[in-house]
Chains A and B, each alone.
Chain A
């Protein structure tokens, strides 16, 4: 299903096929939201702040299979995806976003709201800021869910 969505919404980014499911999921959600959009802020002021409940557990399990006893061949290309924040990095690379990238492990999507609110109220620097934010979860193979939005704000 994710490959079908990739062909429909992107199709020009072969690196997609190297990604684990969590990254593929986040990549496609971001693609649908950001494609063809003109950002309302500088690339240094656009952020990606995502969350889920089970971190990178699906890919952690895949990596564990490569280091099982009696069959020990640790894969560097799988190991790099055993961190949940890699999906924020993949989206940042694809869309040349150089603002903040953050990943939180939370009980529920509602818990992200005060974190985003406080992100916009922190007076680091004035001017328009944006955030691609939401929930990006993949706990088991073929069991995934993403819900993202883009929020613009100003800290002036």
Chain B
């Protein structure tokens, strides 16, 4: 078990976790239609920063917002930096991680998790293992992706993008929208008064590199693992991936039914932020955990599951306790 010691979100909806919570509660969305943002690309709908951002400074700003220097000393060798991203800084993943860690004077080589759209959850699982095995005491997990001509053209070629704001789990859903964000969670081995990461699991469908399993195989195995020690009825909320593509949402429905979780309330955040790729797992974990505590939940103990799936047939899930 590892404990949250700070978090932040920077998205087109606002700077800081609180600003983003308020935007979601007010029903605001960062999704807009773009016709000439990238050359040659067909018009698309996405959640993008008004002013194009630079990758490394954006990650640094996100980490600074999340840091509580009284608990975490970045320059300490017991702190590890973990970056979750799919495309990094214009296709370079290693150098930006190194620049971010160097900015905070961290002496360890950083770790980059690049596990497609599950990266943000996988990065937290990596942090949990490294901290639980005693190799480090603190982890700075930052997730970030910025959109580009490269990514938008590829998703369009795949016919995965919805021309309208996405409608996950709607029978008439038309596909996903891409998004930009940076989000950070600081984890530590010492108890804090915030939420804690108690379990995490990653499984492959072993079925197809770009289509989810029809039986939700990998996602089901992940859910089964993170339910170890609790009953499905104890789960208070599930943050699904909910991209709004036909196959993803159906796969998740099947996996949730197989795991006995069909009746648990679920959160879908893509209509507010789009699919923020490497940031998604970090951003959505923060919002699921923070907003669960702000709801009129009468139970003392919230048990939240966050799940994600991605290209390469990979699925990941974590369980957060509050």
Contacts and interface: CB of A to CB of B under 8 A. Distances in A.
Interface of A: 43-44, 47-48, 53-55, 57, 60, 63-64, 67, 69, 72, 74-76, 79-80, 82-86, 88-90, 92-93, 95-108, 111, 114-115, 117-119, 121-122, 124-125
Q: Interface residues of A: mostly helix, strand, loop or mixed? A: mixed
B204 A55 contact: no
The binding surface of chain B is classed by DSSP as mixed
B109 interface: yes
B156 A74 contact: yes
12 contacts: A55-B91, A86-B209, A88-B314, A99-B204, A101-B204, A102-B122, A102-B314, A103-B115, A106-B109, A121-B133, A122-B132, A124-B199
Interface of B: 39-40, 86, 88, 91-94, 97-98, 109, 111-116, 122, 126, 128-130, 132-133, 135, 149-150, 153-159, 199-210, 217-218, 221, 225, 228, 310-314
A80 B209 contact: yes
Contacts of A108: 109
B275 to A, nearest CB: 14
B150 A67 contact: yes
Contact of B39 (A47, A69, A99, A117): A69
Contacts, number: 165
B203 A122 contact: no
A74 B204 contact: no
Contact of B149 (A67, A92, A117): A67
Contacts of A80: 158, 209-210, 311
Nearest to A111: B109
Given A53-B94, A98-B221, A104-B114, A89 B312 contact: yes
Nearest to B314: A101
A99 B205 CA distance: 9
A74 B228 CA distance: 44
Given A85-B311, A100-B203, 17 more contacts: A63-B150, A72-B153, A76-B159, A79-B155, A85-B312, A86-B116, A88-B312, A92-B205, A98-B205, A100-B202, A101-B314, A104-B126, A108-B109, A118-B130, A121-B129, A122-B132, A125-B228
